[in-house]
Amino acid sequence: MGTEGVSVNPIEELDAMRKIAEAISNLSEPAMRRVLHWAADVHLSKGASSAKAMERTSEPSGGSVSQDLKARFSSLADFFSAASPAQDADKALVVGYWFQVGDGAVELEGFALNKELKNLGHGISNITSALDTLMSRKPALVIQTKKSGTSKQARKKYKLTLEGIRAVERMIS
The more confident residue out of 6 and 151 is 151
* Angstrom distance (rounded) from CA 142 to CA 167: 11
164 and 103 in a single domain? The answer is yes
135 and 91 in a single domain? The answer is yes
Alpha-helical segments (H) within the chain: 10-24, 29-43, 48-58, 65-72, 76-83, 88-97, 110-119, 127-136, 162-172
Confidence of residue 65 (pLDDT cuts 50, 70, 90): low
Residue 149 domain boundaries: 65-172
For the segment 123-142, the average pLDDT, to the nearest whole number, is 95
One-letter amino acid for residue 10 of the chain:
P
Sign of CA dihedral 77, 134, 137, 105: positive
The more confident residue out of 141 and 35 is 141
87 and 45 in a single domain? The answer is no
Tell which residue, 112, 117, 115, 108, has the closest CA to residue 159.
108
Q: Over 50: is that where the pLDDT of 62 sits?
A: no
pLDDT at 151: 72
